[in-house]
Amino acid sequence: LTQAERIAAASFLRTACEDPLADPRAPGTVELRWRCGVAHARIGESRAAAEFFRAAAEHAEAAFADQLRTMAVQSLLDAGANEEALALALESFVQSSGEQRTRLCRQIVAMRLERGELKRAEVALGELTRGGSLREGAPERALRAAIALARAPEGEAELAALRAALPDDARGLWQEVPRLQLARALANAGEREAALRQLRLIALWIPTSGGLRRAHAIGTQLLGERRLALALIVNQLRSLDEQERMIMSARLARAFPRVLSARAEPLGLALTRLSVAAETPARITQAEAWLRYGLRHAREALQDLDSTEDPKIRRVRGALYLLWARLLLQAEARPSRPDLPRAGAAVRLSLTDFTRSPPIAVPQDAQYRLDAAFLALSLKDEEPLLPSLLDEVDAACAARLAQNPAQDEVRAELERLRAKRRP
Protein backbone atom coordinates (compact mmCIF):
# COMPACT_ATOMS: atom_id res chain seq x y z
CA LEU A 1 0.00 0.00 0.00
CA THR A 2 1.03 3.61 -0.53
CA GLN A 3 1.00 5.87 2.51
CA ALA A 4 -2.15 7.56 1.21
CA GLU A 5 -3.84 4.16 1.02
CA ARG A 6 -2.68 3.39 4.57
CA ILE A 7 -4.25 6.64 5.81
CA ALA A 8 -7.51 5.78 4.07
CA ALA A 9 -7.40 2.20 5.36
CA ALA A 10 -6.96 3.35 8.97
CA SER A 11 -9.97 5.66 8.68
CA PHE A 12 -12.10 2.95 7.07
CA LEU A 13 -11.13 0.28 9.61
CA ARG A 14 -11.73 2.64 12.53
CA THR A 15 -15.29 3.23 11.31
CA ALA A 16 -15.82 -0.52 11.05
CA CYS A 17 -14.42 -1.09 14.57
CA GLU A 18 -16.89 1.39 16.03
CA ASP A 19 -19.88 -0.72 14.96
CA PRO A 20 -22.01 -0.91 18.15
CA LEU A 21 -23.62 -4.17 17.02
CA ALA A 22 -20.34 -6.08 16.67
CA ASP A 23 -19.74 -8.92 19.15
CA PRO A 24 -16.36 -8.15 20.79
CA ARG A 25 -15.79 -11.90 21.42
CA ALA A 26 -16.27 -12.94 17.81
CA PRO A 27 -13.04 -13.96 16.01
CA GLY A 28 -13.86 -11.56 13.19
CA THR A 29 -14.09 -8.61 15.60
CA VAL A 30 -10.79 -9.56 17.27
CA GLU A 31 -9.07 -9.72 13.89
CA LEU A 32 -10.63 -6.41 12.80
CA ARG A 33 -9.35 -4.65 15.92
CA TRP A 34 -5.90 -6.13 15.40
CA ARG A 35 -5.84 -4.94 11.79
CA CYS A 36 -7.09 -1.53 12.89
CA GLY A 37 -4.24 -1.31 15.40
CA VAL A 38 -1.69 -2.24 12.74
CA ALA A 39 -3.15 0.32 10.33
CA HIS A 40 -2.93 3.12 12.89
CA ALA A 41 0.61 2.14 13.92
CA ARG A 42 1.72 2.36 10.29
CA ILE A 43 0.66 5.99 10.02
CA GLY A 44 2.09 7.04 13.38
CA GLU A 45 -1.10 7.03 15.48
CA SER A 46 0.47 4.93 18.20
CA ARG A 47 -1.91 5.78 21.01
CA ALA A 48 -4.92 4.69 18.97
CA ALA A 49 -3.04 1.57 17.88
CA ALA A 50 -2.40 0.60 21.52
CA GLU A 51 -6.10 0.87 22.35
CA PHE A 52 -7.08 -1.37 19.44
CA PHE A 53 -4.44 -3.97 20.36
CA ARG A 54 -5.60 -4.03 23.98
CA ALA A 55 -9.24 -4.34 22.99
CA ALA A 56 -8.43 -7.23 20.66
CA ALA A 57 -6.32 -8.98 23.33
CA GLU A 58 -9.26 -9.13 25.75
CA HIS A 59 -11.02 -11.77 23.67
CA ALA A 60 -8.19 -13.34 21.64
CA GLU A 61 -6.81 -16.84 22.08
CA ALA A 62 -3.90 -17.06 24.53
CA ALA A 63 -0.97 -17.05 22.04
CA PHE A 64 -2.48 -14.25 19.96
CA ALA A 65 -3.36 -12.27 23.10
CA ASP A 66 0.32 -12.44 24.16
CA GLN A 67 1.35 -10.96 20.84
CA LEU A 68 -1.31 -8.25 20.98
CA ARG A 69 -0.35 -7.15 24.49
CA THR A 70 3.31 -6.93 23.47
CA MET A 71 2.31 -4.78 20.49
CA ALA A 72 0.22 -2.59 22.79
CA VAL A 73 3.20 -2.06 25.12
CA GLN A 74 5.39 -0.99 22.22
CA SER A 75 2.70 1.34 20.86
CA LEU A 76 2.36 2.99 24.27
CA LEU A 77 6.14 3.47 24.37
CA ASP A 78 6.04 4.93 20.86
CA ALA A 79 3.36 7.35 22.04
CA GLY A 80 5.42 8.43 25.05
CA ALA A 81 3.03 6.84 27.59
CA ASN A 82 5.88 5.14 29.46
CA GLU A 83 4.17 4.73 32.84
CA GLU A 84 1.20 3.03 31.24
CA ALA A 85 3.50 0.93 29.07
CA LEU A 86 5.44 -0.34 32.08
CA ALA A 87 2.26 -1.22 33.98
CA LEU A 88 0.91 -3.16 31.01
CA ALA A 89 4.26 -4.88 30.38
CA LEU A 90 4.48 -6.09 33.99
CA GLU A 91 0.90 -7.30 33.92
CA SER A 92 1.34 -9.02 30.56
CA PHE A 93 4.67 -10.63 31.43
CA VAL A 94 3.02 -12.86 34.02
CA GLN A 95 0.64 -14.24 31.39
CA SER A 96 3.12 -14.50 28.51
CA SER A 97 5.36 -17.24 27.18
CA GLY A 98 7.90 -17.94 24.44
CA GLU A 99 8.99 -15.16 22.08
CA GLN A 100 6.50 -12.62 23.44
CA ARG A 101 7.81 -13.18 26.98
CA THR A 102 11.32 -12.44 25.74
CA ARG A 103 10.22 -9.26 23.97
CA LEU A 104 8.28 -8.06 27.01
CA CYS A 105 11.21 -8.77 29.29
CA ARG A 106 13.56 -6.72 27.09
CA GLN A 107 11.07 -3.86 27.15
CA ILE A 108 10.81 -4.06 30.95
CA VAL A 109 14.63 -4.05 31.34
CA ALA A 110 14.92 -0.97 29.10
CA MET A 111 12.13 0.86 30.93
CA ARG A 112 13.63 0.05 34.35
CA LEU A 113 17.04 1.22 33.11
CA GLU A 114 15.57 4.44 31.77
CA ARG A 115 13.93 5.11 35.15
CA GLY A 116 17.22 4.51 36.97
CA GLU A 117 15.85 1.37 38.69
CA LEU A 118 19.07 -0.55 38.15
CA LYS A 119 18.46 -3.37 40.62
CA ARG A 120 15.05 -4.09 39.10
CA ALA A 121 16.55 -3.87 35.62
CA GLU A 122 19.14 -6.50 36.60
CA VAL A 123 16.47 -8.78 38.05
CA ALA A 124 14.39 -8.48 34.87
CA LEU A 125 17.46 -9.15 32.73
CA GLY A 126 18.14 -12.26 34.77
CA GLU A 127 14.67 -13.53 33.87
CA LEU A 128 15.76 -13.66 30.22
CA THR A 129 18.61 -16.11 30.66
CA ARG A 130 17.58 -17.96 33.81
CA GLY A 131 17.96 -21.72 33.50
CA GLY A 132 19.48 -21.41 30.04
CA SER A 133 16.05 -20.74 28.52
CA LEU A 134 17.53 -18.05 26.28
CA ARG A 135 21.01 -17.76 24.88
CA GLU A 136 22.36 -14.26 25.58
CA GLY A 137 22.38 -12.24 22.37
CA ALA A 138 23.11 -8.69 21.23
CA PRO A 139 20.11 -7.13 23.04
CA GLU A 140 21.03 -8.75 26.35
CA ARG A 141 24.72 -7.80 26.04
CA ALA A 142 23.84 -4.19 25.25
CA LEU A 143 21.35 -3.93 28.12
CA ARG A 144 23.80 -5.53 30.56
CA ALA A 145 26.57 -3.11 29.47
CA ALA A 146 24.17 -0.17 29.79
CA ILE A 147 23.30 -1.18 33.37
CA ALA A 148 27.01 -1.42 34.21
CA LEU A 149 27.64 2.06 32.76
CA ALA A 150 24.69 3.45 34.71
CA ARG A 151 26.32 2.14 37.89
CA ALA A 152 29.68 3.71 36.96
CA PRO A 153 28.84 6.71 34.70
CA GLU A 154 32.48 7.81 34.46
CA GLY A 155 33.98 4.37 34.09
CA GLU A 156 36.15 4.11 30.98
CA ALA A 157 35.92 0.33 30.89
CA GLU A 158 32.14 0.44 31.16
CA LEU A 159 31.92 3.05 28.38
CA ALA A 160 34.15 0.93 26.13
CA ALA A 161 32.07 -2.17 26.88
CA LEU A 162 28.81 -0.46 25.88
CA ARG A 163 30.44 0.86 22.71
CA ALA A 164 31.50 -2.66 21.81
CA ALA A 165 28.09 -4.12 22.64
CA LEU A 166 26.23 -1.54 20.56
CA PRO A 167 27.68 -1.23 17.04
CA ASP A 168 26.41 1.50 14.73
CA ASP A 169 24.35 -0.90 12.65
CA ALA A 170 22.49 -2.30 15.68
CA ARG A 171 18.82 -1.97 14.92
CA GLY A 172 15.72 -2.81 16.85
CA LEU A 173 13.71 -1.23 19.60
CA TRP A 174 15.93 -2.69 22.34
CA GLN A 175 18.87 -0.47 21.34
CA GLU A 176 17.22 2.93 22.03
CA VAL A 177 17.81 3.25 25.79
CA PRO A 178 21.42 1.89 25.70
CA ARG A 179 22.25 4.15 22.75
CA LEU A 180 20.87 7.20 24.53
CA GLN A 181 22.94 6.25 27.56
CA LEU A 182 26.01 5.88 25.35
CA ALA A 183 25.41 9.29 23.80
CA ARG A 184 25.09 10.94 27.22
CA ALA A 185 28.24 9.21 28.52
CA LEU A 186 30.19 10.32 25.45
CA ALA A 187 28.91 13.87 25.89
CA ASN A 188 29.96 13.89 29.55
CA ALA A 189 33.37 12.49 28.55
CA GLY A 190 33.91 15.40 26.16
CA GLU A 191 33.60 13.28 23.00
CA ARG A 192 31.25 15.72 21.31
CA GLU A 193 31.33 14.43 17.73
CA ALA A 194 30.98 10.81 18.83
CA ALA A 195 27.97 11.75 20.96
CA LEU A 196 26.34 13.67 18.09
CA ARG A 197 26.88 10.67 15.84
CA GLN A 198 24.96 8.48 18.28
CA LEU A 199 22.10 11.01 18.33
CA ARG A 200 21.92 10.91 14.53
CA LEU A 201 21.79 7.12 14.65
CA ILE A 202 18.98 7.26 17.21
CA ALA A 203 16.93 9.51 14.91
CA LEU A 204 17.44 7.11 11.99
CA TRP A 205 16.33 4.02 13.95
CA ILE A 206 12.76 5.31 14.50
CA PRO A 207 12.87 6.22 18.22
CA THR A 208 9.88 6.53 20.54
CA SER A 209 8.46 9.91 21.53
CA GLY A 210 10.28 9.64 24.86
CA GLY A 211 13.49 8.75 23.05
CA LEU A 212 13.16 11.87 20.91
CA ARG A 213 12.81 14.04 24.01
CA ARG A 214 15.87 12.49 25.66
CA ALA A 215 17.91 12.78 22.45
CA HIS A 216 16.92 16.45 22.27
CA ALA A 217 18.04 17.03 25.87
CA ILE A 218 21.45 15.50 25.14
CA GLY A 219 21.69 17.49 21.89
CA THR A 220 20.92 20.70 23.77
CA GLN A 221 23.73 19.91 26.21
CA LEU A 222 26.12 19.42 23.28
CA LEU A 223 25.03 22.27 21.00
CA GLY A 224 24.01 24.82 23.61
CA GLU A 225 20.63 25.61 22.03
CA ARG A 226 17.32 23.76 22.06
CA ARG A 227 16.60 24.99 18.52
CA LEU A 228 19.83 23.56 17.11
CA ALA A 229 19.30 20.25 18.89
CA LEU A 230 15.81 19.90 17.40
CA ALA A 231 17.13 20.84 13.94
CA LEU A 232 19.70 18.03 14.24
CA ILE A 233 16.90 15.52 14.81
CA VAL A 234 14.55 16.94 12.18
CA ASN A 235 17.24 16.91 9.50
CA GLN A 236 17.82 13.21 10.13
CA LEU A 237 14.09 12.44 10.00
CA ARG A 238 13.79 14.10 6.59
CA SER A 239 16.18 11.52 5.16
CA LEU A 240 13.81 8.64 6.00
CA ASP A 241 11.47 7.04 3.50
CA GLU A 242 7.86 8.20 3.29
CA GLN A 243 6.35 5.69 5.71
CA GLU A 244 9.09 6.15 8.32
CA ARG A 245 8.88 9.93 7.96
CA MET A 246 5.12 9.85 8.50
CA ILE A 247 5.54 7.79 11.66
CA MET A 248 8.34 9.98 12.98
CA SER A 249 6.51 13.21 12.16
CA ALA A 250 3.66 12.06 14.39
CA ARG A 251 6.06 11.07 17.19
CA LEU A 252 7.90 14.38 16.85
CA ALA A 253 4.62 16.26 17.24
CA ARG A 254 3.81 14.26 20.40
CA ALA A 255 7.29 14.73 21.81
CA PHE A 256 7.26 18.53 21.32
CA PRO A 257 3.58 19.55 21.21
CA ARG A 258 4.28 23.25 21.79
CA VAL A 259 7.19 23.65 19.37
CA LEU A 260 6.24 25.04 15.96
CA SER A 261 9.07 23.41 13.98
CA ALA A 262 8.03 19.99 15.32
CA ARG A 263 4.33 20.52 14.60
CA ALA A 264 5.13 21.79 11.10
CA GLU A 265 6.81 18.52 10.02
CA PRO A 266 3.65 16.48 9.32
CA LEU A 267 2.08 19.53 7.68
CA GLY A 268 5.05 19.91 5.37
CA LEU A 269 4.84 16.23 4.44
CA ALA A 270 1.11 16.53 3.71
CA LEU A 271 1.65 19.63 1.57
CA THR A 272 4.40 17.95 -0.46
CA ARG A 273 2.36 14.80 -1.10
CA LEU A 274 -0.81 16.73 -1.90
CA SER A 275 1.16 18.85 -4.39
CA VAL A 276 2.22 15.66 -6.18
CA ALA A 277 -1.31 14.28 -6.14
CA ALA A 278 -2.71 17.56 -7.47
CA GLU A 279 -0.67 17.13 -10.65
CA THR A 280 -2.75 14.08 -11.61
CA PRO A 281 -6.55 14.24 -11.28
CA ALA A 282 -6.68 10.43 -11.23
CA ARG A 283 -5.03 10.52 -7.81
CA ILE A 284 -7.99 12.12 -6.06
CA THR A 285 -8.32 9.26 -3.56
CA GLN A 286 -4.70 9.71 -2.51
CA ALA A 287 -5.23 13.46 -2.29
CA GLU A 288 -8.21 12.96 0.03
CA ALA A 289 -6.09 10.87 2.35
CA TRP A 290 -3.25 13.40 2.50
CA LEU A 291 -5.70 16.28 3.00
CA ARG A 292 -7.27 14.48 5.96
CA TYR A 293 -3.81 13.81 7.38
CA GLY A 294 -2.78 17.45 7.01
CA LEU A 295 -6.02 18.90 8.38
CA ARG A 296 -5.88 16.63 11.42
CA HIS A 297 -2.35 17.70 12.27
CA ALA A 298 -3.24 21.35 11.66
CA ARG A 299 -6.23 21.07 14.00
CA GLU A 300 -4.14 19.44 16.72
CA ALA A 301 -1.35 22.01 16.30
CA LEU A 302 -3.80 24.89 16.67
CA GLN A 303 -5.03 23.32 19.91
CA ASP A 304 -1.54 22.85 21.39
CA LEU A 305 0.57 25.76 20.16
CA ASP A 306 0.68 29.25 21.59
CA SER A 307 -1.82 31.47 19.79
CA THR A 308 1.03 33.59 18.39
CA GLU A 309 2.05 30.60 16.25
CA ASP A 310 -1.45 30.01 14.84
CA PRO A 311 -1.01 32.22 11.73
CA LYS A 312 1.90 30.06 10.53
CA ILE A 313 -0.21 26.91 10.80
CA ARG A 314 -3.09 28.62 9.00
CA ARG A 315 -0.76 29.57 6.14
CA VAL A 316 0.02 25.90 5.48
CA ARG A 317 -3.61 24.88 5.93
CA GLY A 318 -4.63 27.54 3.41
CA ALA A 319 -2.22 26.00 0.90
CA LEU A 320 -3.68 22.54 1.56
CA TYR A 321 -7.20 23.79 0.85
CA LEU A 322 -5.99 25.54 -2.32
CA LEU A 323 -4.36 22.42 -3.74
CA TRP A 324 -7.45 20.38 -2.89
CA ALA A 325 -9.77 22.85 -4.64
CA ARG A 326 -7.55 22.92 -7.72
CA LEU A 327 -7.54 19.12 -7.93
CA LEU A 328 -11.33 18.89 -7.59
CA LEU A 329 -11.80 21.39 -10.42
CA GLN A 330 -9.29 19.64 -12.68
CA ALA A 331 -10.92 16.27 -12.07
CA GLU A 332 -14.45 17.71 -12.18
CA ALA A 333 -15.02 15.71 -9.02
CA ARG A 334 -16.52 15.94 -5.57
CA PRO A 335 -15.17 14.57 -2.29
CA SER A 336 -16.08 10.95 -1.59
CA ARG A 337 -17.36 11.88 1.89
CA PRO A 338 -19.22 14.97 3.13
CA ASP A 339 -16.66 15.91 5.80
CA LEU A 340 -14.32 17.33 3.14
CA PRO A 341 -15.13 20.62 1.38
CA ARG A 342 -16.13 20.93 -2.25
CA ALA A 343 -14.08 23.14 -4.55
CA GLY A 344 -15.90 26.42 -3.84
CA ALA A 345 -15.88 25.95 -0.09
CA ALA A 346 -12.20 24.90 -0.18
CA VAL A 347 -11.22 28.09 -2.01
CA ARG A 348 -13.07 30.24 0.53
CA LEU A 349 -11.43 28.36 3.40
CA SER A 350 -8.06 28.83 1.71
CA LEU A 351 -8.53 32.57 1.30
CA THR A 352 -9.85 32.89 4.85
CA ASP A 353 -6.76 31.15 6.24
CA PHE A 354 -4.49 33.36 4.14
CA THR A 355 -6.13 36.49 5.60
CA ARG A 356 -5.09 35.26 9.06
CA SER A 357 -1.56 34.26 8.01
CA PRO A 358 1.70 36.15 8.57
CA PRO A 359 2.76 38.79 6.02
CA ILE A 360 4.11 37.35 2.77
CA ALA A 361 7.72 36.32 3.35
CA VAL A 362 8.63 34.47 0.14
CA PRO A 363 7.31 34.57 -3.46
CA GLN A 364 5.63 31.16 -2.96
CA ASP A 365 3.35 32.70 -0.32
CA ALA A 366 2.28 35.39 -2.76
CA GLN A 367 1.71 32.82 -5.50
CA TYR A 368 -0.53 30.72 -3.28
CA ARG A 369 -2.69 33.75 -2.47
CA LEU A 370 -2.89 34.87 -6.08
CA ASP A 371 -3.72 31.34 -7.28
CA ALA A 372 -6.53 31.11 -4.74
CA ALA A 373 -7.89 34.48 -5.85
CA PHE A 374 -7.89 33.54 -9.55
CA LEU A 375 -9.49 30.21 -8.72
CA ALA A 376 -12.20 31.98 -6.74
CA LEU A 377 -12.99 34.32 -9.62
CA SER A 378 -13.31 31.39 -12.01
CA LEU A 379 -15.86 29.56 -9.87
CA LYS A 380 -19.58 29.65 -10.46
CA ASP A 381 -20.46 28.69 -6.95
CA GLU A 382 -23.71 28.74 -5.09
CA GLU A 383 -22.33 31.02 -2.39
CA PRO A 384 -21.02 34.42 -3.53
CA LEU A 385 -17.39 35.13 -2.75
CA LEU A 386 -16.79 37.91 -0.26
CA PRO A 387 -14.90 40.73 -2.05
CA SER A 388 -13.05 41.43 1.19
CA LEU A 389 -11.16 38.13 0.82
CA LEU A 390 -9.80 39.26 -2.55
CA ASP A 391 -9.06 42.70 -1.12
CA GLU A 392 -6.87 41.00 1.49
CA VAL A 393 -4.90 39.22 -1.25
CA ASP A 394 -4.41 42.51 -3.08
CA ALA A 395 -3.24 44.29 0.06
CA ALA A 396 -0.87 41.48 1.09
CA CYS A 397 0.78 41.32 -2.35
CA ALA A 398 1.01 45.12 -2.57
CA ALA A 399 2.74 45.22 0.83
CA ARG A 400 5.20 42.58 -0.34
CA LEU A 401 5.98 44.56 -3.50
CA ALA A 402 6.48 47.75 -1.49
CA GLN A 403 9.28 45.98 0.39
CA ASN A 404 10.59 43.98 -2.59
CA PRO A 405 9.87 45.98 -5.77
CA ALA A 406 12.05 43.72 -7.96
CA GLN A 407 9.60 40.80 -7.84
CA ASP A 408 8.22 41.34 -11.33
CA GLU A 409 6.30 38.07 -11.52
CA VAL A 410 4.27 38.91 -8.41
CA ARG A 411 3.66 42.42 -9.77
CA ALA A 412 2.42 41.08 -13.11
CA GLU A 413 0.09 38.58 -11.47
CA LEU A 414 -1.30 41.24 -9.13
CA GLU A 415 -2.01 43.55 -12.08
CA ARG A 416 -3.76 40.69 -13.87
CA LEU A 417 -5.88 40.03 -10.77
CA ARG A 418 -6.86 43.70 -10.55
CA ALA A 419 -7.78 43.76 -14.22
CA LYS A 420 -9.94 40.67 -13.84
CA ARG A 421 -11.79 42.20 -10.88
CA ARG A 422 -12.65 45.42 -12.69
CA PRO A 423 -16.30 45.64 -13.78
| CATH code, 40 | 1.25.40.10
Q: What pLDDT is stored for residue 338 in this prediction?
A: 85
Among 239, 256, 273, the domain-final residue is 256
Separation CA 339–CA 342 (nearest Å): 10
Query: Same domain, yes or no, for 245 and 272?
Result: no
Query: Same domain, yes or no, for 252 and 264?
Result: no
The Cα diameter of the chain in Å comes to 89
Query: Same domain, yes or no, for 307 and 275?
Result: yes
Q: What pLDDT is stored for residue 381 in this prediction?
A: 63
Query: Same domain, yes or no, for 316 and 375?
Result: yes
CATH number, domain at 267?
Answer: 1.25.40
Q: What pLDDT is stored for residue 131 in this prediction?
A: 54
Among 256, 279, 307, the domain-final residue is 256
Q: What pLDDT is stored for residue 11 in this prediction?
A: 85
The tally of domains found in the chain comes to: 3
Query: Same domain, yes or no, for 224 and 289?
Result: no
Query: Same domain, yes or no, for 247 and 110?
Result: no
Among 256, 273, 296, the domain-final residue is 256
Query: Same domain, yes or no, for 421 and 272?
Result: yes
Query: Same domain, yes or no, for 392 and 413?
Result: yes
Query: 379 near 385, Cβ under 8 Å?
Result: yes
SS (H, E, C) the chain: CCHHHHHHHHHHHHHHHCCCCCCCCCHHHHHHHHHHHHHHHHCCCHHHHHHHHHHHHCCCCHHHHHHHHHHHHHHHHHCCCHHHHHHHHHHHHHHCCHHHHHHHHHHHHHHHHHCCCHHHHHHHHHHHHHHHCCCCCHHHHHHHHHHHHHHCCCCHHHHHHHHHHCCCCCCCHHHHHHHHHHHHHHHHCCCHHHHHHHHHHHHHCCCCHHHHHHHHHHHHHHHCCHHHHHHHHHHHHCCCCHHHHHHHHHHHHHHCCCCHHHHHHHHHHHHHHHHHHHCCHHHHHHHHHHHHHHHHHHHHHHHHCCHHHHHHHHHHHHHHHHHHHHHHHHHCCCCCCCCCCCHHHHHHHHHHHHHCCCCCCCHHHHHHHHHHHHHHHHCCCCCCCCHHHHHHHHHHHHHHHHHCCCCHHHHHHHHHHHHHHCC
Query: Same domain, yes or no, for 234 and 114?
Result: no
**Mean pLDDT per 10-residue segment, the chain (423 residues):** 81 84 88 95 94 96 95 94 95 90 92 95 86 72 95 94 89 87 96 96 91 96 96 93 90 94 94 84 82 94 95 97 93 87 94 95 94 90 76 96 94 95 85
Signed CA dihedral, 236, 240, 242, 245: sign only: negative
Q: What pLDDT is stored for residue 386 in this prediction?
A: 80
Q: What pLDDT is stored for residue 264 in this prediction?
A: 94
Query: Same domain, yes or no, for 148 and 271?
Result: no
Domain enclosing residue 419, as ranges: 257-423
Q: What pLDDT is stored for residue 8 in this prediction?
A: 82
Query: Same domain, yes or no, for 277 and 422?
Result: yes
pTM value is: 0.87
Query: Same domain, yes or no, for 262 and 245?
Result: no
